Amino acid sequence: MHSEPLNDRNVSSNSTYYYVDIEEYPTQGWDKFKRVIKRTFKGELFVGLWVVLREMIKFDIHTVQYPKEKLPIGPRYRAVHKLLRLWESGYERCIGCGLCEKICISDCIRMDTKIDENSRKEVTEYSINLGRCIFCGYCAEVCPELAIVHGQRYENGSEQRAHFVIKDDMLTPLDLLTSGQQAEYPGFGSITPNESVKKTPLAY
Amino acid sequence: MNEITITIDGKEVRTQEGEYILNAARANGIFIPAICYLTRCSPTLACRICLVEADGKQVYACNAKAKNGMNISTTTPTIEAEKRAIMEVYDVNHPLECGVCDQSGECELQNYTLEIGVDSQSYSIKDTHKPAQNWGLIHYDPALCIMCERCITVCKDMIGDSALSTVARGGDPLDAAFKASMPKDAYAMWNKLNKSLIAPNGGDTLDCTNCGECTSVCPVGALVSSDYQYTSNAWEHTQIPATCAHCSAGCQISYDIKHTSIENPEAKIYRVKNEWNYVSLCGAGRYGYDFENRSVTKDANAFNAAIEAFKNADTISFTSTITNEEALILQKLKEKFGYRLVNNEALALKNFLKHYGAISGQSLYGGDLKKVHNADFVVSIGSALKTDNPNARYAMNNALSMNKGAGLYFHPINDPVITDMSKNVTQVNHAPLMEEAALYWVLDLFGDKSAMPSELSDYLSTFHSMKTVTIQETVDEKVTETVTKKVVNAQTGLEEEVSETVTKTVKKKVSKEVEVDTNGLLDYLNAPTGFSDTLTKYLAKKENFALMVGADLYTHPNAANCARLVALIEKYTKFSVTMIPNLANTLGVALLCDLDSGVGTRTIGYNTSGDFTLSALGDGDLDMPSLNQQEGTLTSINKRVNPTNAAVPFGGYTLNDVASALGLKASLTIEYTAQLPVDAGFKGLEFDALPNYYTNAGEEIRGYLLDSHTIEMSEDQSVQPFDTKGAMSGTMIYRANPVMQFSPFTARAHQLRESGGLYVSLEMMSAYGLSGEDTVRVTTTKGEVVVPVINDSKIKGEIGYLPTFDLKINSGAVLGDYRFSNVTIEKV
């Protein structure tokens, strides 16, 4: 979009680039000796020590006390996946189209599907190997139903390299859905209004 | 056929005169969109999207024939507008369920919509409610159907079941305003589409031989396999090019494999696909794919026992469901250790070929199924075509429907499927053992009497007699009458009587005595009445003749004489002769192995019973890989050596391991491919050098063709007269398998699992007082079996059959070598 200033690598007086004022490095032995003396006795070390001491006395600590406290995460953050349900019926949104499985560049998604008693495609099991997942977000982007999204849970350390989340881990529990706690995903892959979409005529 | 040159979009293209423009373009890599056209079938003209301009005139490329010097352009503004409108129409109300549709991107509707660039919709109509229907193995969703009618076309022109047709759709007519505003062809296409849907002829259920070819040709996801439905997406499969392992047709197939489930990463076959423009499968090929020997591990004890058994044995008894390489291993073992190799079914073909060669001077028959496809007069003798080799049946049907052909089917069992192929096919249901009469009849009618040996022509003439028959004829007769009429005189106004002479033509039935040449052979064959008249009609304007002969002849008590007659037919008539081998590799085994006729004292059985059994069926002493678990080559009816690949893994020992332990050194079975003997017709090519594909022009580039080499011919062309009183009578049964079964391997597939019995027609049931719940004891001089009675609606007459696919029914214990046996049937 606005990449022109960055693309202009012609460093000259009228551009936004300028040279930082850096002292010449000493080359002679005498000049080097003078710089050592100057740095040793200037007392810059105490500036830093004073800052630490001052903050310690004030008890105004900025360190986040992880894991007791956590920083808020941006909506576009891509952590462990979630499978959402439809608000109205509580059914799974996933239709089992397999696009996430297809697009996955680290080949870590697998699903088992079958025809259910209502002649609909049913996803019987769904798994993501988090040990392979690179959290690129393609699965969420390609999903036509906004069924698979990235959640905020980034704590997925494990004892083994290969570790999996399955459908039950990712699917919104029904009680959370009824209590309205399923968050709609505003991030990567969510619906953006698009004026280029043309309306199909209907005969009735 | 003359070669001509036409120009398509400025490119000069060589093609045959009379070839459709579409095929000429496809063969030369020029793209013309077409949805409803199927190569090898008649043009349907449903989609109209193959519009081109030929010499300034708009024609449909699929049914316009190329003429020399024709100038064709595939795009003009009008054609572009038509194509765009056609694709828009196809998209009207098409459900947006591409995400779950089983076509999963292999969709011609999707492809052409994108190709033609439909980005908005101008047409609309109220949708109708069209619930999905389950037709057993096949699932039909009319909502997805675009009425290209490819399923109907392939079923009629290729398969011959004609089980599908169009029915009324119901719903609103098109808005009249569209007629004026739409491109002409698009409107006509839509008007037709909007009126119809596909339905089985038999009402709600599909009454056919379940080949599933309709699901294969469906361009969208409307017709799919019920078993495959919603289990996978097309793109997840790895396609393993292979050759079907069930019958001798050697159809090219691809096994579509994928991991079994999330928990089980082992490969599993999900479905079978075929190049439907060039090869049509049967139900066994399409649905009988998971016959592999599962969960086998290397059992060292069993292996050592096998080696020990081989050291002690003197006979190896085996079936023809093995590769050429395995057959060669067995032959090499025989050469090294002097085993007797026993395979009666392949031995019958081997002997038949030997006796055939004594007269023809060729090691192999001259015909193949391609010649049958191109023939216009097809004769089948001694084979239950429908179940022995479905592809031979398709070839016959295709010849009848595409080449305005006619056909004769000589077989003791009446087959309604053959009758339904065409109105120009006649079944001659002769008595068993009268096959020779049929061969003599062919020689008599079509043979060049001046060229054939005089003893033969003399013998044939003994069947001819001049008979005086009284026939009813309708004659036009002129009758001159004098009629008296009352006419009003214009001058006087009075009525006067006037005499007039009138000549009339009157149709009159006259009995007439005529001398006709009757052929006594037809009486021995129980030919239907009026057969010679039918035949005269059939034989008008026929040029290409094809004869198929089957296993009834190879197992015939006078098989040698039958073989010599077949050779004489090939020599003295215009018929091409194709022999139908029984199983997947019967021809290969017959060519590769020196077979013996009787077993010794200690037998190794390979896929058959023995003192020690090697089996791919999972019931033996040592597990072997089945044909979808090993690579190798199979020899088909078309005399082609086709490569096949392993689709699913096998964890156990192979025959090559056994042979290696016995001193034949090869690390892989396919090292034997290059050693296949050249003097038996093989080419000695490496397995990895064998191709397996079809070109866009439909040329089969698969493996290689066997060379038929000339063998020493004896001057003796004599044949024995047949036993005119030899016809079998009484209660008879036949050795055959029901539709979709060929061997125990087909019965292992989960979609085809069934148990066999005595298959009988409704006529036989009523004649013997049987019902579907009965169990009967079938007794012959050899032995007896007790089997349930099963009604087969696809046969007629009073001959039943016993199958070989069900290992629980030991049909070998009752039936002799000849496929028909006299039996007694009693209820138990």
Class of domain B355-579: alpha beta
First to last CA, chain A: 44
Among candidates A66, A196, A92, A75, which has minimal Cα distance to A145? A92
Same fold, B355-579 and B732-827: no
The pLDDT tens digits of the residues spanning B763-779 come to: 999 999 998 889 999 99
Angstrom CA distances, B78 to B6, B52, B72, B85, stand at 22, 10, 14, 11
CA A155 – CA A158 distance, rounded (Å): 9
Structure tokens that stand for B699 in this block: 């040329």
Q: Detail the DSSP E strand segments found in B215-353.
A: 223-225, 238-243, 252-259, 267-273, 315-318, 340-342
Burial B217-247 (b: 16+ CB within 10 A, else e): bbbbbbbbbeebbbbbbbebbeebbbbbbbb
Q: Helices B435-446 and B454-461, interaxial angle, to 10°?
A: 110
- CATH number of the structural domain B732-827: 2.40.40.20
Nearest residue in chain B measured CA to CA from A121: B230
Contacts of A111 in chain B (CB under 8 A): 262
CA B545 – CA B570 distance, rounded (Å): 10
Sort B264 into a burial class: Cβ within 10 Å, 0-12 / 13-18 / 19+: exposed
**Which secondary-structure segment (H or E) carries A9?**
none
pLDDT value for B518: 84
Per domain, the residue ranges of chain B are 355-579, 732-827
From B125, B132, B236, residue closest to A119, measured CB to CB: B132
pLDDT-based confidence at B266, cuts 50/70/90? very high
Q: Report the relative pairing of strands B732-735 and B820-822 from DSSP bridges.
A: antiparallel
Contacts of B229 in chain A (CB under 8 A): 115
What percentage of chain B has pLDDT greater than the value 70? 100
First to last CA, chain B: 63
pLDDT value for B62: 95
Residue A57 half-sphere exposure, CB side, CA atoms within 13 Å?
6
Backbone phi and psi for residue B736, each to the nearest 5 degrees, phi listed first: -160, 165
Among candidates B592, B582, B633, B705, which has minimal Cα distance to B327? B592
Q: Are B289 and B628 in contact (CB under 8 A)?
A: yes
pLDDT value for A1: 43
Contacts of A129 in chain B (CB under 8 A): none
pLDDT-based confidence at B515, cuts 50/70/90? confident
Contacts of A122 in chain B (CB under 8 A): 230
Inter-chain residue contact A110 with B262, CB threshold 8 Å: yes
Contacts of B132 in chain A (CB under 8 A): 119
The pLDDT tens digits of the residues spanning B323-357 come to: 999 999 999 999 999 999 999 999 999 999 999 99
3-class SS string, B149-195: CHHHHHHHHHHCCCCEEEEECCCCCCCHHHHHHCCHHHHHHHHHHCC
Judged against a pLDDT cut of 80, whether residue B488 lies above it is answered with no
> Averaged over B626-631, what is the pLDDT?
95
Residues 6+ apart with CB under 8 A from B60: B43, B45, B48, B50, B51, B52
Among candidates A164, A149, A134, A20, which has minimal Cα distance to A83? A149
pLDDT value for A186: 72
Q: Does the A81-178 domain belong in CATH 2.60.40.10?
A: no
Inter-chain residue contact B172 with A98, CB threshold 8 Å: no
Judged against a pLDDT cut of 70, whether residue B201 lies above it is answered with yes
Interface of B with A (CB under 8 A): 98-100, 104, 119-126, 132, 172, 175, 229-233, 235-236, 259, 261-262
3 state SS of B206: coil
What percentage of chain B has pLDDT greater than the value 90? 86
> Averaged over B417-427, what is the pLDDT?
94
> Averaged over B233-237, what is the pLDDT?
94
The pLDDT tens digits of the residues spanning B83-122 come to: 999 999 999 999 999 999 999 999 999 999 999 999 999 9
Task: Give, as one character, the DSSP assignment of residue B706.
Answer: P
Residues 6+ apart with CB under 8 A from B466: B515, B516, B517, B518
Q: Are B718 and B297 in contact (CB under 8 A)?
A: no
Judged against a pLDDT cut of 80, whether residue B492 lies above it is answered with no
Q: Detail the DSSP E strand segments found in B645-797.
A: 692-694, 700-702, 704-705, 732-735, 758-760, 775-779, 784-791
Inter-chain residue contact A201 with B232, CB threshold 8 Å: no
CA B410 – CA B429 distance, rounded (Å): 6
Inter-chain residue contact B236 with A102, CB threshold 8 Å: yes
pLDDT-based confidence at B160, cuts 50/70/90? very high
The pLDDT tens digits of the residues spanning A98-109 come to: 999 999 999 999
Among candidates B49, B36, B46, which has minimal Cα distance to B154? B36
The residue behind tokens 């101008």 is B122
The CA-based angle A170-A171-A177, given to 5 degrees, is 135
Q: Are B410 and B552 in contact (CB under 8 A)?
A: no
> Averaged over B239-254, what is the pLDDT?
95
Inter-chain residue contact A201 with B236, CB threshold 8 Å: no
Q: Are B429 and B438 in contact (CB under 8 A)?
A: no
pLDDT value for B74: 94
Q: Are B252 and B694 in contact (CB under 8 A)?
A: yes
Nearest residue in chain A measured CA to CA from B232: A113
Burial B390-415 (b: 16+ CB within 10 A, else e): bbbbbbbbbbbbbbebbbbbbbbbbb
